[in-house]
């Protein structure tokens, strides 16, 4: 079966309860995989890109521009009143 040929999922992507008592810590590799996944999904969703440098070399401004959610710009006040 094709699934048998695939490498095991990183711990961070396994189903809840899949971790054993001795295997319940995240490794640096797990953290990198999750971070890469988040960056990739956000870039695909927004069309934004980052310079091709290690994340630690990016400026605060570059990271803010990458991660900002345009839906939350503008008026942040809660709507008043209910449906008519």
HEC letters along 22-42: HHCCCCHHHHHHHHHHHHHHH
45-69 tens-digit pLDDT = 999 999 998 888 999 999 999 999 8
Residue 29, pLDDT score: 83
Q: What is the mean pLDDT of the chain?
A: 74
pLDDT tops 70 at residue 44: yes
| Residue of higher predicted confidence among 43 and 18 | 43
d(CA 37, CA 49): 14
What pLDDT score does 23 carry? 57
Q: Are 80 and 63 in contact (CB under 8 A)?
A: no
Closest CA to 54 of 32, 69, 34: 32
pLDDT at res. 80: 62
């Amino acid at each position: 079966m094709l699934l048998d040929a695939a490498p095991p999922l990183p711990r961070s992507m396994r189903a809840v309860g899949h971790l054993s008592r001795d295997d319940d810590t995240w490794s640096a590799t797990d953290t990198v995989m999750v971070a890469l996944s988040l960056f990739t999904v956000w870039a695909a969703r927004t069309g934004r890109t980052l310079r091709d440098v290690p994340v630690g070399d990016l400026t605060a401004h570059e990271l803010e521009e990458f991660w900002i959610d345009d839906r939350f710009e503008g008026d942040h006040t809660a709507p008043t009143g209910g449906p008519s």
